[in-house]
Amino acid sequence: MPMLPTGLQRHPQSGTYYLRRRIPTDILVCYPGKKEITFSLRTKDYRTAVARHRAEEARLTSEWEEKRQRQAERYARTQLAAITHIDALTPEAIDAICLHAESASLAGDEARRENGHYTLDEIEEYQTGYTEANRILKGAVAIGDYELLRGPLEQFLRLYRYQLKATEPEMRRLALAYGRMAIRTNEKLLSRYDGKEVPTPVMAQRLETPMLSEVTQSYLAYYQKLDKVAMLRKVTAVMPLLVDIIGDKPIGLLKQTDLEAYFEAVQTLPPRWKDICRQEKLRPLELAKQQRGEMSKGTFDGTYLAVMTPFIKYCRRKWQDHGWPMTLTTEGVQYLGSRRDPEGGQRAFESSELKRLFEGPEMARFARRPAMAHKYWLPHLGLFTGARVNELCQLNPQVDITQDAQTGTWYMDITDESEGDARIDKSVKTGGSKRKLPIHPKLIELGFLDYVAAAKKRGDTLLFQAFPTAAGRASPKAMKWFTEFLQEIGLRDETPNARIVGMHAFRSTFLHRAMVLGVVSAETITGHASNITSIETIQNGQVNQEASAVVKKYRGELPVDKKLEILSRITFPEVEFIRADKP
């Protein structure tokens, strides 16, 4: 009787051959309650038993190797964080996935080696296998054989619970990158099998961090709680643009180069870029790449850079424990375009221009026809209030135009808190913009209260009901009409920083006239935060300095009758205004 191979045993009574093997210590946990595996080979013939023993040994060795590999992978997963989803398969995300796969493979190999579970026979077998695998992988990567590469990639993604939102071209790019990684990893394993030291890469846990879109939404929610209405509009515009240009990626993958790319792209957006994107169905980044124009320095500094600086500070404070890169900064970011000089400001109307506008045949026609009354009163209110166009257009005549109970002074309540038209969302630029705006005596003389009474009687909920609303605001169509009207009557002026292109020119006109007439505190009428007319009051021979914000808070709003005293001094006697017909 020849010597039995290891693990092959013959029952002394029945003569049947059995396979009996002790379970290796490193995988005992995979066989609860057992220390060895024993089963019948169902033969009493020696040669048949040897053949069956060889086949079962190979199967058992393969089973044990698979269990070891699974243990190594579980070990690697305790060291390397798996993610559940990736919404944007950016180049950085592809690199991170490949680094994860490389780290997992090398970490598993390292664990086996440290526990002494390799044999020389296995090493030789793996050397042959990985050499052949690299030959096949190199050919697949060279010709772009996606079908061959997809199998191992999808197996890895399932094993580590990745869920990707990716297009077919993006998956192809990932598969090619995964193939190159596999070649690189196999070569490192072969070097280890030759006894060389090859470290396991550190898998930075960056993909586990929150997505940029989640952080920007958090910032928007935070900013909505602050009393900064004007800045909130800028934040609301900038945050989605940031995600669009950088891409919705885990914040742990963000780099300073991402911010630099964002600021460079923003500066190449032309004026009215939102309208262009909407009309041509373009993403902002696509429009920026077309180099159709550039943003002005004032817009860049006052909106895009002004929003990003506090956003970065917020993220450092709020999200640093969740992976926000603390090195990101806006320090040193500068405007790189050519539109450096202020060019968008609107100047005051000259007296001759005011006469053309308010004494012309067009205004006379508006005054005579009740159906055109909204076109008559919009520019008149702009001139005699200096108010922002949306402040005027969103006024609800049912509740926002009334008399002061104590003094009988008629005023307009500029606020976002009163009831408004159902089609719009009322807003004010800043908290300080909320104010009671007295009605100028000249407006009353021209018949404005008759116009308001008629609007109330009709049940109008907008002061200029005939101008359609748009995008949840009352003013866009009114603004568009007046801009075109200036062009029609030959008053439009495109001179940089001295333009006459819209309703905002009335704001400049009102404040300029106040300065010329020496009217103090005109900003209480216009809703500006400071004494922009640069006129101080003099009492007892002393110049009164402008009050601080704290002092202003305690003082409260100037009474509406006192405002009327200021407003009444701002006049335009050179113009012979046409009185509107009674509705």
Residues 6+ apart with CB under 8 A from 363: 357, 376, 379, 578
What pLDDT does residue 75 have?
A: 52
Bridge-based pairing state of the strands 401-403 and 17-22: unpaired
Range among 40-49, 330-339, 437-446 rated most confident: 437-446
In the block, tokens 């009114």 appear at: 478
Where is 76: in which H helix or E strand? helix 46-79
**Between residues 537 and 506, the one the model is more confident about:** 506
* Mean pLDDT, residues 141-156 taken together: 87
Paired with 542 in beta bridges are: 539
What pLDDT does residue 459 have?
A: 96
Helices (H) and strands (E) in the chain, counts: 23, 8
Residues 6+ apart with CB under 8 A from 471: none
**Between residues 117 and 408, the one the model is more confident about:** 408
Among 5-14, 74-83, 486-495, the minimum mean pLDDT is found in 74-83
What pLDDT does residue 114 have?
A: 74
pLDDT band of 549, cuts 50, 70, 90: very low
Residues 6+ apart with CB under 8 A from 55: none
Among 116-125, 180-189, 287-296, 461-470, the minimum mean pLDDT is found in 116-125
Sheet order of strands, 435-438 included: 401-403, 410-414, 435-438
Bridge-based pairing state of the strands 538-539 and 542-543: antiparallel
Q: Is the pLDDT of residue 204 over 80?
A: no
With CA atoms as reference, report the closest residue to 467 among 371, 571, 365, 567.
371
Percent pLDDT > 90 in the chain is 40
**Between residues 515 and 534, the one the model is more confident about:** 515
In angstroms, the CA 139 to CA 134 distance is 8
What pLDDT does residue 71 have?
A: 67
Range among 34-38, 318-322, 344-348, 480-484 rated most confident: 480-484
Q: Is the pLDDT of residue 524 over 60?
A: yes
Among 178-182, 190-194, 206-210, 375-379, the minimum mean pLDDT is found in 206-210
Q: Is the pLDDT of residue 400 over 90?
A: yes
Bridge-based pairing state of the strands 8-10 and 410-414: unpaired
The CA-based angle 263-269-272, given to 5 degrees, is 135
Q: Which amino acid is at 185?
A: T
Where is 8: in which H helix or E strand? strand 8-10
In angstroms, the CA 419 to CA 428 distance is 14
Contact 23, 34 (CB under 8 A): yes
What's the half-sphere exposure (Cβ side, CA atoms, 13 Å) at 30? 18
Among 154-168, 197-211, 291-305, 317-331, the minimum mean pLDDT is found in 197-211
Contact 241, 130 (CB under 8 A): no
SS3 per-residue string spanning 181-208: HHHHHHHHHHHHHCCCCCCCCCCCCCCC
3-state secondary structure of 523: helix
Range among 18-22, 162-166, 388-392 rated most confident: 388-392
What pLDDT does residue 65 have?
A: 77
3-state secondary structure of 463: coil
In angstroms, the CA 575 to CA 383 distance is 12
pLDDT digits (tens, 9 = 90+) for 86-122: 667 788 788 888 888 888 888 878 877 777 767 887 8
Q: Is the pLDDT of residue 80 over 50?
A: no
In angstroms, the CA 90 to CA 165 distance is 11
* Mean pLDDT, residues 421-426 taken together: 91
What pLDDT does residue 72 have?
A: 62
Q: Is the pLDDT of residue 70 over 80?
A: no
